[in-house]
Structure 1
């Protein structure tokens, strides 16, 4: 079972045939596990959710479903808000992990991505580093697995990112699925190494744009993605306000699921 925000919902990996019109790394992992063994999958993640909302809106349902394995990632939307109290939020995060661990679930947590090379988000790096240390402490205390996104430098390649520059694209989600399967295999949560069940993404050639083309691209990005994001921040709305969980009950997925 997967809890969290847009990262786990699968935003950036477009698939019009699926719930919320996205696929994502969690779906891709579930497809492999369902094909190779008797696994079922639920995904309660919804884009735009902050830590408090994940706790309030997903925790009880998640505990009710009593998963053997649960992935949890939330905090990216809190890190983007400089006034958010990360210490207080991570105490709530730890409480969520503790409840799953006490219920007998294996818990997998994620560190946040290192934005050192991002002109847009590099200023959030110190807050992400604090968040990551809190995640590692929580994992040590409650026996959780850590998928260390911070150290996976491959994701610094812009070809793994969607046009909004905030979410991974289909190539990024495919790479993340392979990484997650590898982590699960290393910790013997799954039998065997299933990371090779997902083909390594083939990256396109890097585009070589003129100065004018780059300026046009920047203006297009600002109009299509930055301005709506700022508007949501100012109005207190979220891109996930009208959405519900993709898979609120257990399903078995195949790569051709509609």
Structure 2
């Protein structure tokens, strides 16, 4: 099928949709990018959509494995967010990585597509991930400079204070929940000046935990999520090693609830 307009999404778990689970969909997730594509198609059936993002990918992997594929699809619009998995490593040279990132953005922009980039989230409220806040700030300055150089739009995740509410996050405290992905979809569509009929889900009451209950919850989280995550890093493996892109070719989507 030929599409007059082509939206191609690149990146890692953020764009793949981890945290917004749906076992009926490829890779078992939906996510903000799918939701944006659905709304674009609802307004204009000429849109096609491909999502090349795979969880666990680092910047170099995203650039090496996804940029050529994206260019081959002749995109009208491209979204790119990668770097979170690099920032969380014990050691990382952000400056060196972002030189490669700039080259990838240049290739995408050269297609004539509208390019949409993301700043990293401000993890100030996280006792664990907050330690990487400085790295994210450096990453963000590079993203802003690269966007200026290539005329890209920016979804400024860093400045979205709503996401400091933990009800927008999955139980793993690393990925957005369904509510978070839905809100992000609306933010992206707002940047694109595109109409949407997305209803934000009602948030549950904010739980107030005693000190002991909070400690128990933290221990459970460390056992169920942090420990396995560290284990994969030590083994040099990724949760996305056995996965392929959700939508490697342009397709049409239908909006669901």
> Normalization by structure 1: what TM-score?
0.94
Corresponding residue for residue 28 of structure 1 = 35
> How far apart are 1:34 and its partner, in Å?
1.0
Corresponding residue for residue 4 of structure 2 = none
Distance 2:201 2:102 in 1: 34
Residues 139-154 of structure 1 aligned to structure 2 (within 5 Å)? 139-154=147-162
Superimposed CA distance per residue, residues 117-160 of structure 1 (whole angstroms, 9 cap, x where no aligned partner) = 11111110110000000000000000000000000100000000
Distance 1:214 1:55 in 2: 40
Whether 1:55 aligns to 2:63 is yes
Superimposed CA distance per residue, residues 179-227 of structure 1 (whole angstroms, 9 cap, x where no aligned partner) = 0000011xxxxxxx414x1112321111122333323222221111011
Distance 2:83 2:103 in 1: 14
Distance 2:90 2:110 in 1: 32
Whether 1:77 aligns to 2:85 is yes
Whether 1:16 aligns to 2:17 is no
Distance 1:92 1:51 in 2: 8
Which 5+ residue runs of structure 2 have no aligned equivalent?
Answer: 1-7
Corresponding residue for residue 135 of structure 1 = 143
> How far apart are 1:74 and its partner, in Å?
0.1
Corresponding residue for residue 204 of structure 2 = 204
> How far apart are 1:21 and its partner, in Å?
0.2
Distance 1:175 1:256 in 2: 15
Whether 1:124 aligns to 2:132 is yes
Distance 2:140 2:208 in 1: 35
Find the partner of 1:87 among 87, 95, 118. 95
Distance 2:195 2:153 in 1: 17
Superimposed CA distance per residue, residues 201-254 of structure 1 (whole angstroms, 9 cap, x where no aligned partner) = 321111122333323222221111011001001100000000010000011111
Corresponding residue for residue 223 of structure 1 = 223
> How far apart are 1:81 and its partner, in Å?
1.5
Corresponding residue for residue 162 of structure 1 = 170
Whether 1:177 aligns to 2:185 is yes
Distance 1:256 1:24 in 2: 12
Number of residue pairs the alignment of both structures matches: 249
Whether 1:45 aligns to 2:53 is yes
Look up the SS of the partner of 2:109 in the other structure: helix
Distance 2:180 2:166 in 1: 9
> Normalization by structure 2: what TM-score?
0.94
Look up the SS of the partner of 2:250 in the other structure: strand
